[in-house]
Amino acid sequence: MRPPVSEQAAAADRDGRDPARCRDAVRPDRRRRLQHDPAGAPGADQPPLRSAIRAGGRRGHSPVGGGPVTESVKPKILVVDDAGPVVILCVNVLQALGYSIKAANRGETAVELVRQEPFDLLVVDYKMPGMNGFEVLEQARQARPRMACMLMTAHGTPDIINEATRLGFDYILLKPFTPSELRGAVDKVLASKA
C-alpha cells in the first residue's frame, strides 16, 4: 500500500504539473518574512530557533486550529532539513501544537540523535548534503524500527515516491506546504501509529 501523499501532490499529478519543480519549501513571500523576522512564523511567541530546539516542546494551542496536547502524551518529533526556514516553520508549528521537538540540519546529526533518544516521529527532507532522507531512514530504523517516519520533498517524482514507499515512509509531504498541511500530516501519521 502506498503511503498517503499530500493533497498538493495528488492535485499536481492529476493536473499534469511536475511537483519536482518546487524549489523551496516556503513560499517566496513567507521566506522573505522568515529571513527578516523569524518571529513572524506561526507561533511567533516562540523563542528563536536555537532556543526553541534546546527548550523542546511546550503546551499550547495550535495557530492552525488544533487544541492543546497534554504533557502526559506529548510525542517527541525530530525534524531534519538543511533549509533553515523549513526547520523554523516546522519547529514553531509543531511546538505550538504541544509536541516536543528537536531539529537537525544534517542527516548524520539526525542519526546520532535517534540513537541517543527515542522519537515518536522522524520528519526528514529528501535532498540534503551528505546523507539524503532515504539513507537517514535506513540508519534510523536500525536503531528505532517502530518509529514513524515522514518524508518532506520538493522532488515528488514517481521514482522518489515509489522508493519512499518501498523503504517504508508513513507519509510523503510535498514542498512547499502550509502549516495546516504539516499539522494534518503529522496528526495522521501519529494517529496511525497509536
Q: What is the pLDDT of residues 81-114, one digit of tens each?
A: 999 999 999 999 999 999 999 999 999 999 999 9
Residues, the chain: 194
Of the ranges 13-17, 23-27, 106-110, the best mean pLDDT one: 106-110
Q: Which domain holds residue 77?
A: 7-193
Asked whether residue 119 is assigned to any structural domain, the reply reads: yes
Whether 134 is covered by a domain: the verdict is yes
Own/partner contacts of 159-164, CB < 8 Å, gap of 24 or more, are 160/126, 161/2, 161/5, 161/9, 163/134, 164/3, 164/126, 164/134
Q: Residue 186 maps to which CATH number?
A: 3.40.50.2300
The answer as to whether 20 is a domain residue is yes
Instruction: Establish whether the linkage from the previous residue to 176 is cis, with ω within 30° of 0.
Output: yes
CA dist list (Å): 81 to 84, 123, 131, 138: 7, 9, 11, 16
For residue 56, being part of any structural domain is answered with yes
How many structural domains are present in the chain?
A: 1
Give the mean model confidence (pLDDT) for residues 8-14: 53
The vertex-160 CA angle with 185 and 31, nearest 5°, equals 55
What is the pLDDT averaged over residues 29-44? 44
pLDDT tens figures, 42-64: 443 333 333 333 333 333 333 34
Is the whole-model pTM more than 0.85? Answer: no
2 falls within a domain:
no
* 110, burial (CB in 10 Å: exposed 0-12, middle 13-18, buried 19+): buried
